[in-house]
Amino acid sequence: MNIGIPKERRPFEFRVGLPPAGVQILTSHKHKVYVEHNAGMGAGFSDQEYESAGATIVYSGDEVFGRADLVLKVARPTEEELEWIRPGSALAGLLHLASARQDKIDVLLQKKVTAIAYEQIQLADGSLPVLRPFSQIGGTLAGQIAARLLQNNWGGKGILLSGLPGVPPAEVGILGAGVVGTYATQSFVGQGAHVTVLDRNIDALQRIQDRFPGVVTLLSTERNIERVVSYVDVLVGAVLVPGERAPILVTREMVRSMKPRSVILDLSIDEGGCVETSRPTTHESPAYVEEGVLHYCVPNMPGITARTAVHAFFNVAMPYILELADKGIDVALANNPPLALAVNTHAGQVRHLHRLTDGKER
């Protein structure tokens, strides 16, 4: 199979679709891999490393897309990349199409592209193995980002997460006790904050309680969310429904009830966000003030820890990528149910994709 690894074109996306170690595995299985010039530079991988792994370096995005039967990306393709993608080919990446513009999905359907969303590869127990390392990174980053945003020079209220003797720590509320929520809890607890976690799954709350005995756990009801939102200094949205837009759990009215210069980190923004006042931002301009509250809504948070993210991704995703390459797209999808659940478009049809879009670019 011809496999293409393009350079990511979205701002502040430093990751790459596969490290040289993954390319070496593919080429050892007699597949042809085309890597765009400097595609791995942001993650610290040189063209020479890819060439040593058996890849062919190409010098335009048009060429890498045009040659590939299977394109391995990180972020959802841009309009330009959608023009380049070859009809009938396959595309794998963190696509988050549930919150994408409809015209982008239309192009994938018109070109009969098989779009495989890594974040939707789902095992029988409901776990998301390929999304997991990115969720772990996002949750871990939440603590250090919130600590910075609480500083006065970032527009925060000037609170130290840990507090000091005689001064109480910051109050943190986390919506969601999944992987993101668990690692965010670990990050905030490690910095000494007082943490409350809400989830509608009592078993998930039990796992949080067992792992972090000092953390408060609450069922995620509208009343409990209203109560927690009203007193926290930091609110973290960590809600995920695979293949669907994130539900709005925090209304604008709830945001108005927050203490001035509090901080919201909406880590669900890849799926549209779980806070009504959230809108996507970038690493260049990550935060804005709405209703007197500082909002941080960067979709590609793990993109700034690119080397760690790519290595962690390779560890979990390579078996699926190799199966697609070795067996062919159709056979691999037919024989691998977790992989089949990740298909968003195939043969001009929508698969496993439930949209609630507001029409905004995500």
Domains assigned to the chain = 2-121+306-350 (3.40.50.720), 132-299 (3.40.50.720)
Percentage above 70 pLDDT, the chain: 98
- With CA atoms as reference, report the closest residue to 341 among 89, 105, 118, 113: 118
Residue 100: which pLDDT band, with cuts at 50, 70 and 90?
confident
Q: Rounded to the nearest 10 degrees, how much is the dihedral formed by the CA atoms of 40, 143, 123, 248?
A: -110
Q: Mind spelling out the 3-state secondary structure of the chain?
A: CEEEECCCCCCCCCCCCCCHHHHHHHHHCCCEEEEECCCCHHHCCCHHHHHHCCCEEECCHHHHHHHCCEEEEEECCCHHHHHHCCCCCEEEEECCHHHCCHHHHHHHHHCCCEEEEHHHCCCCCCCCCCCHHHHHHHHHHHHHHHHHHCCHHHCCCCCCCCCECCECCCEEEEECCCHHHHHHHHHHHHCCCEEEEEECCHHHHHHHHHHCCCCEEEECCHHHHHHHHHHCCEEEECCCCCCECCCCCECHHHHHCCCCCCEEEECCHHHCCCECCCCCCCCCCCEEEECCEEEECCCCHHHHHHHHHHHHHHHHHHHHHHHHHHHCHHHHHHHCHHHHCCEEEECCEECCCECCCCCCCC
Q: Which tokens sit at 281? A: 């931002």
Q: What is the pLDDT of residue 361?
A: 32
Whether residue 256 has pLDDT greater than 90: yes
Contact between residue 270 and residue 99 where contact means Cβ atoms under 8 Å apart: yes
Closest to 284 in 3D by CA, of 21, 10, 50, 7: 10
Express each pLDDT in 129-147 by its tens digit: 999 999 999 999 999 999 9
The first and second tokens of residue 27, run together, are 């080429």
**Residues 6 or more apart from 326 whose CB is under 8 A from it?**
29, 332
Cα 200 from chain centre:
22
Pairing of strands 171-175, 234-237: parallel
Q: What pLDDT sits at residue 354?
A: 66
| Least confident stretch, 19-28, 248-257, 298-307 | 298-307
66-87, pLDDT tens digit by residue?
999 999 999 999 999 999 999 9
Amino acid identity for residue 82 in this structure = L
298-349 pLDDT, tens per residue? Answer: 998 998 999 999 999 999 999 999 999 999 999 999 999 999 999 999 999 9
Nearest-5° Cα angle at 76, 9 to 55 = 60
Instruction: Kindly report the average pLDDT of the chain as a whole number.
Output: 94
Question: Which whole number is the average pLDDT over 85-105?
Answer: 91
Is 175:235 a contact under the CB 8 Å cutoff? Answer: yes
Beta bridge partners of 32: 2
Per residue in 31-46, pLDDT (tens digit) is 999 999 999 999 999 9
Q: Report residue 11's pLDDT band, with 50, 70 and 90 as the boundaries.
A: confident
Give the position of tokens 């969310």. Answer: 225
CA distance 144 to 329: 40
- The catalytic residue positions are 96, 270
232 contacts: CB under 8 Å, gap ≥ 6: 171, 172, 173, 196, 258, 262
Contact 350, 102 (CB under 8 A): no
